[in-house]
Copies of this chain bind each other. A is one copy, B any other.
Amino acid sequence: MTKSALQIARAAYQPKLPKALKGTVKVSEGNPTQSIADQEAIQKLFPNTYGMPIIQFVESDEQVNYPAINVGVILSGGQAPGGHNVISGIFDGIKKMNKESKLYGFILGPGGLVDHNYKELTAEIIDEYRNTGGFDIIGSGRTKLEKESQFDKGYEILKELKIKALVIIGGDDSNTNACVLAEYYAAKNNGVQVIGCPKTIDGDLKNEMIETSFGFDTACKVYSEVIGNIQRDCNSARKYWHFIKLMGRSASHIALECALQVQPNVCIVSEEVEERNMSLDDVVTYIAQIVADRAAKGDNFGTVLIPEGLVEFIPAMKRLIAELNDFLATNAEEFAHIKKSHQREYIISKLSTENAEVYASLPEGVARQLTLDRDPHGNVQVSLIETEKLLSEMVGTKLAKWKEEGKYVGKFAALHHFFGYEGRCAAPSNYDADYCYSLGYTASALIANGKTGYMSSVRNTTAPAEEWIAGGVPITMMMNMERRHGEMKPVIQKALVKLDGAPFKEFASKRESWAINTDYVYPGPIQYFGPTEVCDQPTKTLKLEQTK
């Protein structure tokens, strides 16, 4: 591995730890817990891991002799900055308790457990990856651990390697599966503990006990850096509207956090679009009106932030897509015989009036894409829609109409960007480096104390690291029952942007001013070595949530 100068300098960074984790760790247990909803159903599904208390670690100078322990770790799903620090935190934690302890990494995600694909993570390997981005130390994968056959196959290798605890680093689904696995092994009484760690740049795995998922801070800062740069360009050239799509299909936390950081002219929040039952035309009109208002004062430039998942939050689009899925599934053969140039009319003639209207309003490219590209289950591939281009094209069309009607005087030229892969593997910010290391270290303490079915939890993270609170939260506590693929399943509730939450309210109180005035902020790149007010700030989202 050829290392950059920054990587070499950064390797020396010693992540901060909560006070309680510095000495010997003592467990303080709270009262029994309940799941956030559907208590009876969840309890029935998780008889061995339901109702456990919240755990907090407290300082202690008691000497404890921990036995050596073998631990396995899995990186599950999309990359997020800081994953390597979670792993080095686990490593340092179990080594501190007993230097004979060993850490094994399963290769390329949960599939590595099932396929018995692993490697031992030695001090030498770990040291190569401290404070670096990426998941390349062992790779990641999207295999879902759901079936008992997988659990049994996994147990074979755990037994062979004498692994007593498995740490699964993942998002809401992976942590749900971690809990199912914990329950399964507990029921089998096979002595394997399972601990989860909250990861996802999307920021949608959070609740009262999990303040934030790791990676969200760094990813949002990388996006805000480049958006800030684009805004400065926009404000210098004064002739383009930049439509910027941001990763995050299930929730708009990233777009909202970036908006709070860069103060764009427009930011669409999917959750609000859904809540207000806005149509695609409503969204387009909203943007076009701001373009027109700015043009009226001579400013034919601006920035628009768009969450990747927007289309799926627009109720009318959701209905259209549902009907298209059904229609094309049952009429695939007939449709295949329709001439390309007649497909649009054909589809319009077959849809219900409401959906036909929405379909007819779409630009040709998007309309075609909705009928042509379908996934293996026959569903429309919404993720392939270039929402940023869809919106700018429709805004352009609307403005042209307004121009004819004398309601708009200006020039509209659009540029498009999509940021996602740029931020998922950035080197973690100080915040994420510390938070991840603490999450990993906490996981090792949960293991040492015999816990299973817990998620590693580090809280109070807007305070200095010294004051952070480390502990564990029973995963069942975060669960409710939801319909997935037609079946009711116990799942961790996904955290969407709350319209009555402090971050959205802050944004909503400012957006009209940001829209018409040009009050861009240019956050610049993540700094690792400078003054603390530059280097050690958590996200605006978290700060606002904590000061409510």
Binding site for B on A (CB under 8 A): 1-7, 9-10, 79, 108, 132-136, 139-140, 222, 225-226, 228-230, 232-233, 235-238, 242, 261, 263, 341, 415, 417, 421-427, 519-531, 533-534, 537
Do the beta carbons of A236 and B534 come within 8 Å of each other? no
The closest CB in chain B to the CB of A533 belongs to B5
A5 partner residues in chain B, CB cutoff 8 A: 523, 531, 533-534, 537
| Most-contacted residue by chain B among A423, A526, A527 (CB, 10 A) | A527
Known: A9-B534, A529-B529. A233 touches B522 (CB 8 A): no
CA distance A283 to B79 in the complex (A): 32
A530 partner residues in chain B, CB cutoff 8 A: 6, 9, 528-530
CA distance A519 to B523 in the complex (A): 31
CA distance A534 to B7 in the complex (A): 9
Query: Can you pick out 19 interface pairs between chain A and chain B where the beta carbons lie within 8 Å of each other?
Result: A5-B523, A6-B525, A6-B527, A9-B530, A9-B531, A9-B534, A79-B232, A133-B229, A134-B232, A134-B236, A136-B235, A139-B236, A139-B238, A229-B424, A236-B425, A341-B341, A417-B421, A417-B422, A427-B524
Do the beta carbons of A238 and B108 come within 8 Å of each other? yes
CA distance A258 to B163 in the complex (A): 44
A6-B534, A134-B232, A415-B421 known; 16 other A-B pairs, CB under 8 Å?
A2-B263, A4-B228, A4-B522, A4-B524, A7-B524, A9-B534, A132-B522, A134-B233, A134-B522, A136-B236, A139-B237, A222-B226, A225-B525, A233-B421, A529-B529, A529-B530
Instruction: State the Cβ distance, A200 to closest chain B Cβ, in Å.
Output: 15
The closest CB in chain B to the CB of A424 belongs to B233
A533 partner residues in chain B, CB cutoff 8 A: 5, 9
A2 partner residues in chain B, CB cutoff 8 A: 263, 519-521
Instruction: State the Cβ distance, A519 to closest chain B Cβ, in Å.
Output: 6
Do the beta carbons of B423 and A229 come within 8 Å of each other? yes
Instruction: State the Cβ distance, A47 to closest chain B Cβ, in Å.
Output: 37
A527 partner residues in chain B, CB cutoff 8 A: 6, 525, 527-529
A237 partner residues in chain B, CB cutoff 8 A: 79, 135, 139-140
Do the beta carbons of B425 and A233 come within 8 Å of each other? yes
CA distance A3 to B262 in the complex (A): 10
Known: A6-B527, A263-B2, A422-B230. A235 touches B522 (CB 8 A): no
CA distance A530 to B7 in the complex (A): 12
| Most-contacted residue by chain B among A222, A225, A417, A424 (CB, 10 A) | A225
Instruction: State the Cβ distance, A117 to closest chain B Cβ, in Å.
Output: 13
A133 partner residues in chain B, CB cutoff 8 A: 229, 232, 522
The closest CB in chain B to the CB of A261 belongs to B4
Known: A421-B242, A524-B4, A534-B9. A229 touches B233 (CB 8 A): no
Instruction: State the Cβ distance, A174 to closest chain B Cβ, in Å.
Output: 15
CA distance A222 to B422 in the complex (A): 11
CA distance A242 to B235 in the complex (A): 30
The closest CB in chain B to the CB of A219 belongs to B229
A108 partner residues in chain B, CB cutoff 8 A: 238
Do the beta carbons of B4 and A521 come within 8 Å of each other? yes
A520 partner residues in chain B, CB cutoff 8 A: 2
A9 partner residues in chain B, CB cutoff 8 A: 530-531, 533-534
A525 partner residues in chain B, CB cutoff 8 A: 6, 222, 225, 426, 525-527
